[in-house]
Amino acid sequence: MRDVARSERVLVLAPAGRDAEIAATLLKEAGVRAEPSSDLPDLRRKIDEGAAVAVVVEEALVGAGLADLSQWVGAQPPWSDFPFVILSTRGGSIERNPGAARVIETLGNVSFLERPFHPTTLISVVKTAFRGRMRQYEARERIDEIQRGEAMLERRVAERTAELESANRQLASQIVEREKIESALRQSQRLEAIGQLTSGVSHDFNNLLTVVLGNVRQMQKQIVDPAQARRLAMMAQAAERGAKLTAQMLAFSRRQKLEPKPVDLNETVLGMRDLLQSTLGGSTNIQTVLAPRLWPAMIDPTQIELVILNLAINARDAMAVGGTLAVETSNATLGTPRLPSEPAAGEYVCVAVSDTGSGMSETVLAQAFEPFFTTKDVGKGSGLGLSQVLGLAKQSGGGVRIDTKLGEGTSVRLYLPRAASDVQAPAQSAYTNMSRPFSGETVLVVDDDSAVRDVTGSILRDLGYRVIEAGSGGAALEALDTSAKVDLVLLDFAMPGMNGAEVAREIRARHRHLPILFATGFADADALTEAGEDAIVHKPFAEEELASKVSRALGGDVSANVVALKR
């Protein structure tokens, strides 16, 4: 059924005689808009166009068109129940009019009016049916309003749902980003905590090594028995290896005072080839790919050798017997970093250590730089290797990138800053010029470790100096006030109470021109930057270094700006 607008037309179907015309006239006189129909098809068409009530004589409900009208009645929308007024000679009683049931079943909403009838009765029945139809129109309008409201509500719900989904996506993205930041913060906090622990342990360990190496070297001067000399040499070698280990630990904690200089990495790799082959074993095939016209890299020469060796050992452990390890150098111009481990945009010199091993899964790669994380069996790795590599790279102003494919191998690329100047030719050792005659100058040795003071004092006495010892900053200041003359202060940097920088400031305030050397195994790069390398003696002591720097300081070659040292 076609949905039509509200219609107030009443149709009248009475094909015989003038019944339709008379009925229409009566209804019009009562104010009802009435219109006659010629037959059932015409009635069906006009109802479809729009009508409120149909008045039909019973005799017209026969023949063609009734089935079509019945189908129309059955197809009405839910709000519609079109009213029919049937003019019958026998009324609507089933007993008197057996056809009434069939009419009701066919047309649905039927009111019977028995003929002859009074005009008022016809008008009353038609108006009653008319009012019923008007209420149906009102119901349709309410239904339409409800449907429009539902459609609007659905649109608003859809819009709100889309807004919520967008907000949820943004929130999910923010949660992921926050988790990344929190993870990076936790990693940074772990690194800081481990770095503090490592640097503290390294400081104490360097003090122990100073005592061991100092006494071994003093004993070596007096031993003539070859067997004992060999044992002392082995002890010295072991202690020196321990010193290298502490250097690695300090590099990991990023607290070691590095000595970067322009380095030719091609020469470094070539010079390490024999060391790599002996360390990795004959079953590992070592290949080197060196870039022509390689830029000089700004890096501590000793530390870069340790890093390459560390990466080579990791690569060997990741490969089956007979694998291939490649060490490659190249110039690199990098863009914006993708990961925190990578360097900032700029020009770098790259040294890559690649293997044909098992590669890394995404999970392993995500944890590769975490301290103490290792995939090796218990006892076969500390998990500090890549952490140390990253620590040195970041401390030097570079970074690290790992390219890996599971089952095919891994390439660790270390990016180091390009040096502004060329590599300098090897100079004569800084510690060979010790020709200055000793004239019994007095050196004040300040260290909270009595064994370190004893060893240091012994070395200096053997060199011809007079030595005064002090176990704290306060004792050092008192010694300066009470001693007749002190020519130089050898001052431990990391001490409880007053640290070396604080003691140095007090000394400089009282004795402006007194030379000061710092002895440290825990060199805080920031705190000692202003002092300069010539004013620093590293623990464990190399006797040549100690002798040279003391001699130069007494000769007036060192002007340590201790007043500017950072607190």
Overall average pLDDT of the 286-313 stretch? 87
- Chain centroid to CA 393: how far? 20
Q: What is the pLDDT of residue 239?
A: 74
Verify that 279 and 394 share a domain, yes or no.
yes
Verify that 407 and 456 share a domain, yes or no.
no
Per-residue model confidence as pLDDT tens digits over 413-443: 999 999 988 876 554 444 444 444 456 788 9
Quote the percentage of the chain above a pLDDT of 70: 82
Distance CA 384, CA 224 (A): 41
With a cut of 70, say whether residue 143 has pLDDT above it: yes
Q: Is 363 helix (H, G, I), strand (E, B) or coil?
A: helix
Distance CA 357, CA 373 (A): 18
With a cut of 60, say whether residue 526 has pLDDT above it: no
Q: Residue 303 sits in a domain of what CATH number? A: 3.30.565.10
Verify that 337 and 481 share a domain, yes or no.
no
pLDDT classification of 381: cutoffs 50, 70, 90: very low
Asked if residue 195 is part of any domain, the answer here is no
Q: What is the pLDDT of residue 379?
A: 38
With a cut of 50, say whether residue 389 has pLDDT above it: yes
With a cut of 90, say whether residue 474 has pLDDT above it: no
Distance CA 34, CA 51 (A): 10
Overall average pLDDT of the 512-535 stretch? 71
When divided into structural domains, the chain yields a total of 3
Residue where a domain terminates, one of 117, 140, 171:
117
Q: What is the DSSP string of 44-63?
A: HHHHHH--SEEEEEGGGSSS
Asked if residue 128 is part of any domain, the answer here is no
Is the separation of the CB atoms in 527 and 565 below 8 Å?
A: yes
With a cut of 90, say whether residue 180 has pLDDT above it: no
With a cut of 60, say whether residue 60 has pLDDT above it: yes
Q: Over the range 105-132, which residues count as b (16 or more CB within 10 Å of their CB) and which as e?
A: ebbebbbbbbeeeeeeebbebbbebbeb
Distance CA 438, CA 195 (A): 41
Distance CA 518, CA 539 (A): 10
Domain residues for the domain of 58 are 10-117
211: Cβ–Cβ under 8 A, 6 or more apart, which residues? Answer: 449, 451, 452, 454, 455
Segment among 136-150, 156-170, 347-361, 492-506 with least mean pLDDT: 492-506
Asked if residue 212 is part of any domain, the answer here is no
Question: Is the backbone peptide bond immediately before 340 cis, with ω within 30 degrees of 0?
Answer: no
Q: Residue 496 sits in a domain of what CATH number? A: 3.40.50.2300
With a cut of 60, say whether residue 392 has pLDDT above it: yes
pTM of the prediction? 0.46
Q: Is 165 helix (H, G, I), strand (E, B) or coil?
A: helix
With a cut of 80, say whether residue 221 has pLDDT above it: no
Query: What is the H or E stretch that residue 326 is in?
Result: strand 324-334
Asked if residue 267 is part of any domain, the answer here is yes
Of the two residues 15 and 354, the one the predictor is more confident about is 354
With a cut of 80, say whether residue 94 has pLDDT above it: no
Overall average pLDDT of the 307-317 stretch? 84
Verify that 451 and 531 share a domain, yes or no.
yes
Contacts 24+ apart (CB under 8 A), 308-311: 308/268, 308/269, 308/272, 308/276, 308/351, 308/353, 309/272, 309/275, 309/276, 309/279, 310/248, 310/385, 310/388, 310/389, 311/353, 311/385, 311/389, 311/412, 311/414
Distance CA 541, CA 525 (A): 19
Q: What is the pLDDT of residue 151?
A: 92
pLDDT classification of 378: cutoffs 50, 70, 90: very low
Residues pairing with 430 in the sheet? none
Pairing assessment for the beta strands 488-492 and 516-520 based on DSSP bridges: parallel
Q: What is the pLDDT of residue 427?
A: 46
Q: What is the pLDDT of residue 157?
A: 92
Is the separation of the CB atoms in 86 and 122 below 8 Å?
A: no
Kindly report the average pLDDT of the chain as a whole number: 80
Please count the residues of the chain.
Answer: 567
Q: What is the pLDDT of residue 563?
A: 43
